[in-house]
Homo-oligomer: A and B are copies of this chain.
């Protein structure tokens, strides 16, 4: 059986290591929802996957939102009275609260402390904080660093700018046989954080690269966007494209060693939901299926009630459930080539399924067609050889009334999807099935 697998001729192990290499390259860049870190990231992705880079001006209205000012940062530190940098942006870009306003002041420890964020129960780790929609500034540091700060006068510098500019995002369309689209979306707005979500970013990059070297059935639109404001911006500025989205996946947290977690679309029984569950079940891989909830990544926007798109979210360990989440420990050690490779493989398996899953019409719906005269029936009756294949043909013929997909037929017959798919292809070749539009 040839499943036209997307994995064909792909060295998964090599891809896994290249994904991890790209992740390490992207890791040090200070990204945010706008700014040069995001641009630099998209340019590096562009080397692997040609992107259309969009620049949306500050102030553009996108539904209920407005594209914010562009934030850029050059340096930031806290110096003690001896002039020693006790907190230094250069050592970790998590030290600065994202979207912090520029500051250059001297202040006492007690005044400074109102702007400091730590994780007391993880005293070595630096938390990740942002202040996108409220003008403020702050520093994140390990609790141990905080404990070492003496009563002193500190020079506090954040050399940032918050000015009219642009929101930047990247987009790649892999044209398929039909114009209906499979949307792949990942957020690229986090600074030095790996599982959330450089893992999704590198996976989307490699998926795009692989798909662009195949001839897929669906067209694949791959979005590299800042979280929330990015998907809102794309949806607002691309309303004419929304009706073409037939399936979608948000990719995040896909490089840790945890089992897969699939969060269903708001529809709850969309084809992507069915295919993902079939793949996870048949791969015998430990996994969890979550119902949709309006808390999470950009599926919140795609699945808002006015769109209700069939977009699920694939993760390994979900947001908030691993201790390293949104801390300096979500680093290249947490994410391994092995698990990035495993995630890539499973996503390719799901895409294989959804590419192959069709509905057909039996051209001869009244009684069975005569399989024997077409050489589709073993000629000495009563024997059991080839029986499974025979039964697959009968199942496909019986259920192909335009209402059952091949996956529905596989479920109903308890036969393997690919056996059912091959039966359908054989019947189509003999003119006994025609695909539904």
Contacts and interface: CB of A to CB of B under 8 A. Distances in A.
A204 B365 CA distance: 28
Nearest to A383: B129
A382 interface: yes
Given A63-B366, A294-B397, A394-B300, A381 B305 contact: no
Contacts of A386: none
B380 A129 contact: yes
A183 interface: no
B382 A304 contact: no
A401 B367 contact: no
A79 to B, nearest CB: 24
B362 A128 contact: no
A306 B370 contact: no
Contacts of A365: 304-306
A138 interface: yes
Contacts of A232: 367-368
Interface string A108-149: 000000000100000000011111111010100000000000
Interface in A378-437: 379-384, 390-391, 394-395, 397-401, 412-413
A336 B9 CA distance: 62
B370 A64 contact: yes
Interface string A275-311: 0000000000000000101110000110111110000
Nearest to A375: B134
A300 B362 contact: no
Contacts of A367: 62-65, 231-232, 235-236, 301, 304, 306-307
Contacts of A364: 63-64
A380 B97 contact: yes
A59 interface: no
Interface string A299-330: 01101111100000000000010000010000
A299 to B, nearest CB: 11
Given A231-B367, A395-B293, A372 B134 contact: yes
Given A64-B367, A382-B130, A294 B362 contact: no
Given A63-B364, A97-B380, A364-B64, A398 B131 contact: no
Interface in A174-210: none
Given A367-B65, A367-B235, A133 B380 contact: no
A369 interface: yes
A130 B381 contact: yes
A379 to B, nearest CB: 4
B366 A307 contact: yes
A310 to B, nearest CB: 15
Interface string A54-97: 00000000111110000000000000000000000000000001
Given A300-B394, A305-B362, A326 B382 contact: yes
A266 interface: yes
7 contacts: A64-B364, A130-B381, A131-B381, A236-B367, A294-B368, A294-B398, A306-B362
Interface of A: 62-66, 97, 117, 127-134, 136, 138, 228, 231-232, 235-236, 266, 291, 293-295, 300-301, 303-307, 320, 326, 362, 364-370, 372-373, 377, 379-384, 390-391, 394-395, 397-401, 412-413
